[in-house]
A and B are shown apart, each in its own frame.
Chain A
Amino acid sequence: EVQLQQSGPELQRPGASVKLSCKASGYTFTEYYMYWVKQRPKQSLELIGRIDPEDGSTDYVEKFKNKATLTADTSSNTAYMQLSSLTSEDTATYFCARNWLYWGQGVMVTVSS
């Protein structure tokens, strides 16, 4: 059974960074892109970017290029997303998703002083 298990909720101060994780199981980690999606409260879904775990190559949506950094650790089958210079605009739920068929449960990031 394919599962994507994301890390727990985060409360961060403005200006801080946070690293979210998404541990994959039930399939060969290197065979599928991992996508990361942002959903602000009561809003739609917004793609941040994707990573190919096989070679670590990434494709970012332009507006997130200076905000998010995607990495993947094939030894632990875990994808990561680091968000930097956090502002209130980064308060959202973040999902990882494998080729849009399987989704993590989401992690809520709250940025507040």
Chain B
Amino acid sequence: DGGITQSPKYLFRKEGQNVTLSCEQNLNHDAMYWYRQDPGQGLRLIYYSQIVNDFQKGDIAEGYSVSREKKESFPLTVTSAQKNPTAFYLCASSRLAGDNEQFFGPGTRLTVL
């Protein structure tokens, strides 16, 4: 079945540690996205990528980094520079970074202790 996988579903880390969230898609989509969602809030864009080896900052990129070495994979690293990293992280993909609907993964809930 085609879709987007994110792992793990729940993640706990100590303050000051970097952590990488995985996102893989087998939909053959060109564009991929990372969003952050805080309780009772909408989704805020962290980074997006339209093609391999290229990505752009979203609204809240500070304290995060990404890579896009393969079309299928778009991992997100939450660095120690991110002041409030505890949140729900959603990865999405779409056919092209244009007027196409996005398909979302199940999300990773990150808690920094």
> Do chains A and B interact in one complex?
no
- The interface of chain B, by Cβ under 8 A from chain A, is none
